Amino acid sequence: MPGRIVGRCCPLFASVLFTLVLLVAPACTRTGASGAPIQFRPTAAPRAEQGPAQLVAPALTVLDQPPDRPLYTLNVTLDYDNGALHTQEKIEFRNPTGLAISEIKFNVPPARRAGAIDVRDARIFGQAQPLAFEVTSTVLSVKLPAPLPAGAGIALAFDYVLKIPLQEVITGIGGDDSSRGPHSLTAGHWYILIAPWENGDWYTPGYTPIGDNYVSEVADYEVNILAPEGIIIAGAGEESREGRLWRYSLPMARVFAFGASPVYQIDQIEQDGVTYIHYTYPEHRKFTEAVLYTAARAVALYSELYGPYPYRTLRIVETGRSQGQEYSGMIGIGTTLYDGYPGRGARHDLIATTAHEVAHQWWFHLVGNDQIRSPWLDESLARMSELQFYERHYPRDVDWWHQRYIGASRPRGSIDLPLSAYPDGRAYIIAVYQRGLLFLTDTRRRIGAQAFDAALRDYSQTMAYKMATPNNFFDALARHTTEDLTDLVNGYFASAIALPCRISDNAIGCRR
């Protein structure tokens, strides 16, 4: 096998006196709107070296050079024993609405639990006067002192404390992707996210206890985490460390996630310019080689099929959950998925889940989609990639894989429903994971493997860093085949799909 596993020791770090200045002054070399270093002091007056600011109205300071995409600066003090994150967050972004607005809305996934997050302060960065805000359900609404012009940029700062909940015991797929168990803490969608703007309003969908309740647009992240002594942080992106202070830079990401544990064992390999890092509990370290080489082989295959993996590192982090979870530049593998693995071979959930979650670096991270309204667009494709992984590397195990994850009978259920339309997690899995895979394999059989692979690569590259819709997927198919797919779509989809004319035999109402 290519590459070599390298173990990394994790010494206890020297005690560091933590202050806000210590946290950010050395770390935030990322420049602000004027090109000067950012010093994250949300209650301080603007410093002269930060550059001139344009005053649109009293107390409304806008950025002189708005970023092309949101920039999140997250300064975190981790209280591991109590599962608390004290966070100072700054978001620099451009008004996306095309209108002058006096209110901005944010999605706050942890707020679905009463009392989980205490938002203590919201203000324009550098201003002494706080802003009026309100948290309702999972939505944070912030009132501006004056209208923000269309296209203008602004920097808002928040101060809050988040309590990470104890790990839920659930069946199926869903629940919090921020949770803590006896050996680790995982922070997934844990921070304040600016809501997407669509169809003339902020998109604030709320919580559904099935699937992934997140819609993630591309942003840049600069993150500083001060951890207690002896706690190991596993965060996404380029990592540096000074004692107990862990720094991460993650550009063009859908989400920034991290894990924390006093017991993580760390091993890594490098292959084709990508470093794969495995963080696992001591009792599961014996499976490191299988996990790392599965991840490396999956990245190599998916890069060949869909386009290059976009980062220089991929972290595989054991979590206290019972399922896998995708993030940008990082995947979580639930601890129960390691149980019973014999140490070799591919006939086990550990290998299949690793291949599946790696596929989400393309079908979630690179190609975004609305996971609430169209979850099949990423989950069905990730399952298809999982099948392609077994077809390439474990052809003798494909029948086992199909029996294990799809079953012998053809399941029922429309694959294109929103999360809220599925009555329970089982119905969701059957429709999206099982039936979704059958739709894709039937499509591949209909148009041919070569055209199907070309369409997936086209779709991945055309929609990279964008938010894809089902129309985008079918448009990619239509660029590589003229086979009529009307009967397949009608058999698997509940909604009426206006297919491109090339793949619907020029049906009435088709898209040209």
Q: What is the pLDDT of residues 222-238, one digit of tens each?
A: 999 999 999 999 999 99
- The band of 410, judged by pLDDT with boundaries at 50, 70 and 90, is confident
Give me the amino acid identity at 139: V
347-367 confidence digits (pLDDT tens): 999 999 999 999 999 999 999
- Contact between 296 and 306 under an 8 Å Cβ cutoff? The reply is no
In a domain, 92, yes or no: yes
In a shared domain, residues 220 and 314: no
- Does the structure show a pLDDT above 90 at 100? yes
User: What SS3 state is found at 311?
Assistant: coil
Q: Name the phi and psi angles at 326, rounded to 5.
A: -95, 145
Asked if 15 and 56 sit in the same domain, the reply is yes
Per-residue pLDDT at 479 exceeds 80 = yes
Distances in Å between the Cα of 100 and the Cα atoms of 56, 93, 105, 223 are 11, 14, 14, 30
For residue 45, pLDDT over 60 is answered with no
Q: Count the domains in the chain.
A: 2
Last residue of a domain, one of 450, 468, 486: 468
Q: Judge if 299 and 152 occupy the same domain.
A: no
Q: Does residue 499 lie within any of the structural domains?
A: no
Q: Where are the beta strands (DSSP E) in 360-500?
A: 368-369, 467-468
Name which of 21-25, 31-35, 113-117, 316-320 the model is least confident about.
Answer: 31-35
Which candidate, 270, 269, 187, places its Cα nearest to that of 223?
187
Which of 352, 350, 353 is closest to 339 using CA atoms?
350
Vertex 187: Cα angle to 470 and 90 (nearest 5):
85
Which tens digits make up the pLDDT trace of 480-504?
Answer: 999 999 999 999 999 999 999 999 9
Is residue 429 a contact partner of residue 172, using CB atoms and an 8 Å limit?
yes
Q: What is the pTM of this model?
A: 0.89
Domain holding 373: CATH number?
A: 1.10.390.10
Which of 247, 262, 277 is a domain's end point? 262
154 DSSP 8-state letter: E
Q: What is the pLDDT of residue 39?
A: 41
Q: Is the pLDDT of residue 36 over 70?
A: no
Mean per-residue pLDDT for 107-133?
96
Question: Distance of alpha carbon 438 from its chain centroid, rounded?
Answer: 25
Q: What is the pLDDT of residue 30?
A: 32
Tally Cβ neighbours within 10 Å of residue 113.
Answer: 14
- Domain shared by 295 and 329, yes or no: yes
Do 220 and 322 belong together in one domain? no
CATH code of 146's domain: 2.60.40.1730
Q: Is residue 476 part of a domain?
A: no
> What would the pLDDT profile of 415-440 be if each residue is shown by its tens digit?
999 999 999 999 999 999 999 999 99
CA pair distance 423, 436, nearest whole angstrom: 17
Q: Are 95 and 62 in the same domain? A: yes
Cα within 13 Å of Cα(358), Cβ side: 33
| Domain range for 176 | 6-262
Cα gap 271→266, rounded to integer Å: 17
Checking if the pLDDT of 34 tops 60, the result is no
Q: Which two tokens stand for residue 352?
A: 């299949």
- Encoded amino acid at 28, one letter: C
At 15 the pLDDT is 31
Amino acid (one-letter) located at 70? P
Average pLDDT over residues 65-90: 97
Centroid of chain to Cα 94: 21
pLDDT tens profile 161-181: 999 999 876 666 777 889 999
- Are the CB atoms for 317 and 332 separated by under 8 Å? yes
**Does one domain contain both 325 and 438?**
yes
Which domain-ending residue is among 234, 262, 290? 262
Round to whole Å and give the CA distance between 332 and 316: 6
Rounded Cα gap, residues 260 and 318, in angstroms: 10
CB under 8 Å to 380, separation ≥6 — which residues? 415, 432, 433, 436, 437, 439, 440
Return the number of other C-beta atoms located less than 10 Å from residue 304's C-beta.
Answer: 12
Q: Two tokens at 100?
A: 């002058």
Coil, helix or strand at residue 438: helix
Answer whether residue 504 is part of any domain. Answer: no
**What local confidence, expressed as pLDDT, does residue 274 receive?**
98
Do 94 and 147 reside in the same domain of the chain?
A: yes
Q: Nearest Cα to 230, choosing from 264, 276, 255, 205?
A: 264
Whether residue 464 sits in one domain with residue 323: yes
Q: Are residue 258 and residue 277 in the same domain, yes or no?
A: no
Q: How far is CA 170 from CA 241, 276, 426, in A?
A: 35, 29, 12
